[in-house]
Structure 1
Amino acid sequence: MAQNSKQVPEGKVLRFTGGERFSHWVHASSFLILLFTGLAVLSVTFRPVMAIVGGIENARMIHRVVAVIFVVVVGLKFFIGDTKHHWQWIRSVFTWTKADVMHVKAFATEFFGGHGNYPPQAKYNGGEKINSLFTIFGSIFIAISGFIMWFPQFFPISLVRIAYPVHDLAMIFMTTALIGHLYLALLHPESRVALQGMLKGYVPKGFAKSHHGAWYEEIQKQEKAGK
């Protein structure tokens, strides 16, 4: 999609639309609430903290309500509103190129503050694709296992027993990915600039060129073609 010159701030490019940002923040905020309330359900150690929401029973109720939001609201964005960019994200995540693989190989250098040696990246680089895969499969496992735990009467007891450790492991898996994601978004000297794209939609052109060069060139071609 071409940039709208009347809306794009000087020196910046549109990275994420309003719909993309909405999905991201609904997913992120609901996951954090689920993590907070879920820890109290998982272990009595965290239950005194649930006084914040009125006790463990309120925490259970909040957990279930937010679980529906976690699954339904983001899921609906693939069919209502800004559907184009959501499906483009899915296709991109499951489409790997040599450039993506090279980015992943250089990711350790990138992660610890340097700038890896890799070819120009698309809108989502190799590292972001891995994070997206963690998010997709983690969400699927945590949602399915949670549904089985919520309605155990409809499933074989053996499946219900498996659902509990699967749910916990998916939570640990996604929380670990979240920690790395927060580090890159808030503390990393180069990649933290990307947070601007998820807050306001735009990122500096310099960042787009250095971290998503192939995507930036595509945008420039579209603008010149008047699309």
Structure 2
Amino acid sequence: MSIQTQTKGQFGQPAGTDKVLRFTLGERVSHWIHAVSFFLLLFTGLGILSLTIRPALAVIGGVQVARILHRTVAVLFVVGVGSMFFIGNPKYHWEWLRMVFHFTKADWQHVRVFPKEFFGGHGNYPAQDKYNGGEKINSLFTVFGSIFITLSGVVMWFPAVFPPALVRWAYPVHDLSMFMMTTAVIGHMYLGLLHPDSRVSLSGMLNGYVPSKFAKAHHAAWYERVKKGQN
């Protein structure tokens, strides 16, 4: 990784910029596979489940098409993202997984002041790594939500293979997992699209780069490593 200052960056930033590469192409592809498939699953799943929302499925051809699409995209949701741990900058995927399960004292201090930051302020917390405490919690929602929604989905897809009691439990587990992930996604979208202090971070998932000012304010420990030529 490198900082692009007063030069034309790898992804074509104009001269005079001061940006740092936060996410590689592989990380961005993985993110958008997950995001697009998640929203397709949410839309088709809600349409299948709710008679109120079902008329909206007309845009894709009705409920029967939605059932097929839901299962097809479910495979993409699992295989597409899973494969990125082995192709397309896999080093950074494994790094992410390792980091989100390791909370430091600095992470917990960030979590304590995060509500203030969520509602527009900027809390005082120690220098954070590439993923701060709040992002690690969001990632854990994603990891465990994905695991439970995948396992319960397999049981629902092949009910004859599993005990009836397990099939009955799979439905509420599937719904609760999606509710948990949707709640996390709403907060994630607010921070990435609307929050006055963190919405500039969206560029990291579009062209890979974020402003150095943002990186220093939110991920100072990681930023200092990048400046020294370390990942």
TM over 0.5: yes
Equivalent residue, structure 2, for 1:32: 39
Match of 2:202 among 186, 190, 195: 195
Q: Give matches, 1:87-106, under 5 Å.
A: 87-106=94-113
Q: How many correspondences in the alignment? A: 224
1:53 is matched with 60
Residue of structure 2 equivalent to 1:149? 156
Distance 1:6 1:56 in 2: 49
Q: Could you say which residue in structure 1 is the equivalent of 2:140? A: 133
Divergent runs of 4+, >4 A: 1-6
2:73 matches 1:66: yes
Could you tell me how far 1:7 is from its partner in structure 2?
A: 3.3
Whole-angstrom CA distance in 1 between matches of 2:3 and 2:156: 46
1:2 is displaced (CA, Å) by 4.6
Whether 1:82 aligns to 2:89 is: yes
Per the alignment, residue 51 of structure 2 pairs with 44
**Residue of structure 1 in register with 2:170 after alignment:** 163
Q: Which amino acid in the other structure matches residue 50 of structure 2?
A: S
User: What is the CA deviation profile of residues 174-214 of structure 1, one whole-angstrom value per residue up to 9, with x for unaligned ones?
Assistant: 11111111110111000111101011100011001011000
The one-letter amino acid paired with 1:7 is G
* Matching of residues 164-179 of structure 1 within 5 Å: 164-179=171-186
Aligned residue number for residue 7 of structure 1: 9
SS in 2 for 1:71: helix
C-alpha deviation, 1:81, in angstroms: 2.5
Aligned-partner Cα distance in 1 for 2:229–2:90: 20
Q: What's the secondary structure of 1:74's corresponding residue?
A: helix
For the aligned residue pairs, the C-alpha RMSD in angstroms reads 1.5
**DSSP 3-state at the match of 2:141:** helix
Alignment of 1:180-191 (within 5 A): 180-191=187-198
1:108-119 alignment to 2 at 5 Å?
A: 108-119=115-126
Q: 2: distance between equivalents of 1:107 and 1:6?
A: 34
Amino acid at match of 1:25: W
How many Å separate the matches in 2 of 1:42 and 1:164? 11
Gaps (5+ residues) in structure 2?
none
The CA deviation string for residues 96-125 of structure 1, in whole angstroms up to 9 with x for no partner, is 111100000000110000001101100000
CA distance in 2, matches of 1:76, 1:137: 18
- Structure 1 Cα separation of the partners of residues 77 and 3 of structure 2: 30
Q: Is the 8 A contact 2:27 2:88 kept in 1?
A: no
Q: Deviations over 1:152-182 (max 9, x none)?
A: 1110000000000000000111111111111
Contact 2:84-2:90 within 8 A present in 1 as well? yes
More deviation, 7-16/103-112: 7-16
**Matches of 2:8 and 2:94, distance apart in 1:** 26
Q: Which amino acid aligns with 1:182?
A: M
User: Which structure carries more relative contact order (alpha carbon 8 Å, separation 6+)?
Assistant: 1
Which of 205, 210, 214 aligns to 2:212? It is 205
Aligned-pair identity in percent equals: 65
* One-letter amino acid of the structure 2 residue matched with residue 27 of structure 1: H
Per-residue deviation, 1:3: 5.2
Of 127, 141, 166, which residue of structure 2 is paired with 1:120? 127
TM-score normalised to structure 2 length: 0.93
Please state which structure has a larger fraction of its residues in helix.
Answer: 1
